[in-house]
Amino acid sequence: MMIAETMRKNAENCRALADSTITEPFRTRYLRMAAAWEDLAKSQDWLDGIARSGAADQRKLDTAA
């Protein structure tokens, strides 16, 4: 299994934990952890040379401003 896939699996596990918790602070923490794992997976994709173009990400930044 590739490193990025493992990171995405970790993110999926964090989201499952967020869905199963009953307290908001823990839910928030798990969702932040999931987002961090997703970011790490994207970085790993880039390092592996399989990242998609940054055009979609740039559009998100342009519309957020």
Q: What is the pLDDT of residues 36-60, one digit of tens each?
A: 999 999 999 999 988 765 555 555 5
Q: Is 2 a residue whose pLDDT tops 70?
A: yes
Residue keyed to tokens 């970085």: 43
Percent of the chain residues past pLDDT 70, beyond the cut: 75
Domain count within the chain: 1
Nearest to 4 by CA among 40, 35, 32: 40
CB 3 within 8 Å of CB 44: yes
Q: Quote the pTM value.
A: 0.74
- Tokens 């970011």 sit at which residue? 39
